[in-house]
Structure formats: C-alpha cells, structure tokens
C-alpha cells in the first residue's frame, strides 16, 4: 500500500496525517500547544520549541504504517501562513524542515502549500466539495478572518488561486473568542469552552453590536462592549451566547455582501471558529435564504488546524503528475 503524508505546524497545533492513494484517512495525530493559564497566546519561539518536542511522538504514533520507504509516495507540508509573497512565520519552519528531510531520505515528492490553502483542501476533502471551478472560502480562526475568492488553477503548483475579498479590520473572530474566554476565566484556546458555556445562555444572549461595512468586519468594538458587560457582572453564559451570536451575524452579513458582489454561490467554511455548531447553523439558515447559495461545512474535527489538507493537496498533485505521463 502507498501513502501520502501531511504535516502542519501552526500557531497552536502540531499535526500530521496520512492518506492512502484513494484519499482515505488511515492515520492522524495532533497535539495542542500548551499555553499557561491566564495567557492569551504564545511567542513564536515557544511555538517552535513545542513543535520540535511534539513531532517525534506524533510520528511514532502514526508513521509506523510505513513498513518500508517505498510506502511513502508524497509529502505535503504547510510552509507559510498565506499564499502571498513574503508570508512567513517561524512555527511553520519546524514542519517544513521535517518534510524536506523525509522527502530526501525516502526519495519521494515534496509539495508545499500555505496554511490557508491547507484549511481549504481539508475542507474540500471532508465536505466533499465544492467541486466547481470557483467558490468563496471563509476562513475563521484565531489568526485569520478572511473571505477569499477561490479559482481552480491547475497551471500553478497550488491547484487553486486565492483572491482576498475582505475580512477583519482589526482583531480576528478567534481572537475575539479567546480574549473574551480568558476574561471569563476559560482555558486558552477558548473556543470549545465558550461554546459549552453559551449553551446555558442561549435563551438570553447578551446584546452585542455588530460592525459590518461591505466586505469589512470589526470585532474590536464588540470586544469593548463585552468588557463593559463583564464589568457590569452580566452572567458569563449570556455573554458567551452573545459573542456567538455577534460573530454569526457579522459573518453572515459579510458573506451575503460577498455573494452579491461576486455572484458566486458556492461557499466553503473553514477554520476553528467555523467548527462552532451555533455559528454554523445560523450562517447556514441566513445565507440559504439567499436562494442561490450552497454552503459546505467540513466535519467539525477538520475545521480547526489539521494536516489532512496538506496530505490531500499532495495526493492531488501526485495524481496530476502521474496523469501527465512525466
């Protein structure tokens, strides 16, 4: 059996994944980076250190499937944050370095992509689409709140090309969640914990304003409003539910504006914040009312950082290479 390996060393998760040549997931391992209680993030040097510690154990867990070097036919790795010139972050050097060494040792093909493209390919792999030449992708995470126009681009090494349409003017959706979560005493990253807390306040969500202008969204103002609510001793569950509703309304508005501007109706939602079930349901309901739109949501486990997208990207590139007859 032949396998394709994916590696992703992002800001808060070390990930590897293995697909077989038919695209089935045969092995995966991830480890969240540790953040001390009360802190809202890590320095890049801390990320590099933890990725360097995590990867050997993850490889021991997953890569025992390779009985001989010939089993590994391609490697996909995220080498930089976004597919633009000069995009750089030290955390990605750890995975990129591992991938280069393995490719040389196993004499196998190496394919590099951005972290953002990794999210999109993981979403397509999990959601089964969009399988069209162009679509919109909404990337919601701690480091990104963007809406991009995706075009098939088989002439390039990426297989897709991305055009940034809009996004956050200040802090990102995931930062908003994490800052509020830490202020409420939740662990970091706060997403899953805030989602659990919000379930208790769903019927009486705190009123938090939204700020959407065209294809630009702001979460700095809503964060200021939340801090006032905290000072006023508003119930934590009501604040958490209000934060979810604020993000959902903001992104739905942003997305409807993008659909109107581009006339593109296929939408893929990716990123850790897009795993939130309330936000998913709200956006699906309100965007579906547009009539000509179709949304694709990956399984919740493949919205946050993972390496499946890198493996799937490498597999697609390998198939393209094989079909070219080279």
- pLDDT tens-digit readout, 175-221: 999 999 999 999 999 999 999 999 999 999 999 999 999 999 999 99
- Return the SS3 of 56: helix
Token pair in block for residue 20: 């077989």
Are 319 and 13 within 8 A, CB to CB? no
CA nearest neighbour of 125 among 279, 315, 274: 315
Q: How many CA atoms lie less than 13 Å away from 74 in the CB half-sphere?
A: 21
- Which residue blocks in the chain are alpha helix, DSSP H? 44-62, 91-106, 115-127, 173-183, 191-198, 220-231, 236-262, 277-288, 308-323
Find out whether 205 and 252 touch, Cβ atoms under 8 Å.
Answer: no
Indicate the burial class of 258 (C-beta count within 10 angstroms; 0-12, 13-18, 19 or more): buried
Q: With pLDDT > 70 as the criterion, what percentage of the chain qualifies? A: 94
pLDDT at 300 over 50: yes
Q: CB-based burial of residue 131 (10 Å sphere; 0-12 exposed, 13-18 middle, 19+ buried)?
A: exposed
Predicted pLDDT of residue 28: 96
Question: At residue 277, what are phi and psi to the nearest 5 degrees?
Answer: -70, -35
* Cis ω for the linkage preceding 189 (within 30 of 0): yes
Mean confidence (pLDDT) of the chain: 93
- Whether pTM exceeds 0.85: yes
Domains of the chain: 3-131+303-323 (3.30.420.40), 167-300 (3.30.420.40)
Measured between its terminal Cα atoms, the distance across the chain in Å is 22
Per-residue confidence band for 321, with pLDDT thresholds at 50, 70 and 90 = low
Mean pLDDT of 270-283: 97
35-86: per-residue pLDDT in tens?
Answer: 998 888 899 999 999 999 999 999 999 977 666 666 899 999 999 999 999 9
| CA-CA-CA-CA torsion sign (58, 189, 286, 236) | positive
* pLDDT at residue number 157: 47
């Amino acid at each position: 059996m032949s396998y394709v390996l994916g590696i992703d060393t992002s800001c808060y998760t070390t990930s590897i994944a293995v697909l077989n040549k038919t695209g089935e997931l045969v092995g995966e391992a991830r480890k969240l980076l540790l953040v001390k209680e009360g802190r809202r993030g890590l320095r890049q040097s801390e990320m590099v250190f933890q990725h360097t510690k995590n990867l050997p154990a993850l490889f021991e867990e997953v890569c025992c499937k390779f009985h001989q070097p010939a089993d590994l036919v391609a490697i996909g790795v995220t080498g930089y944050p976004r597919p633009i010139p000069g995009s750089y972050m030290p955390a990605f050097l750890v995975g990129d370095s591992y991938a280069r060494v393995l490719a040389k040792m196993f004499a196998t093909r190496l394919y590099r992509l951005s972290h953002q493209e990794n999210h999109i390919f993981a979403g397509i792999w999990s959601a089964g689409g969009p399988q069209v030449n162009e679509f919109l992708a909404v990337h919601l995470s701690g480091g990104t709140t963007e809406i991009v126009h995706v075009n098939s681009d088989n002439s390039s090494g990426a297989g897709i090309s991305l055009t940034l349409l809009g996004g956050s003017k200040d802090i990102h959706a995931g930062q908003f969640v994490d800052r509020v979560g830490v202020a409420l005493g939740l662990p970091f990253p706060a997403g899953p914990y805030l989602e659990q807390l919000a379930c208790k306040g769903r019927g009486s969500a705190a009123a938090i304003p939204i700020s959407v202008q065209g294809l630009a969204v702001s979460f700095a103002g809503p964060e200021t409003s939340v801090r006032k609510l905290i000072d006023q001793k508003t119930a934590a569950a009501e604040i958490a539910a209000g934060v979810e509703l604020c993000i959902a309304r903001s992104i739905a508005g942003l997305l409807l504006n993008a659909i109107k501007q581009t006339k593109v109706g296929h939408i893929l939602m990716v990123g850790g914040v897009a795993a939130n079930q309330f936000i998913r349901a709200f956006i699906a309901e309100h965007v579906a009312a547009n009539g000509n739109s179709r949304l694709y949501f990956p399984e919740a486990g493949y919205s946050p950082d993972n390496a499946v997208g890198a493996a799937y990207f490498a597999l697609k590139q390998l198939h393209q290479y094989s079909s070219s007859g080279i």
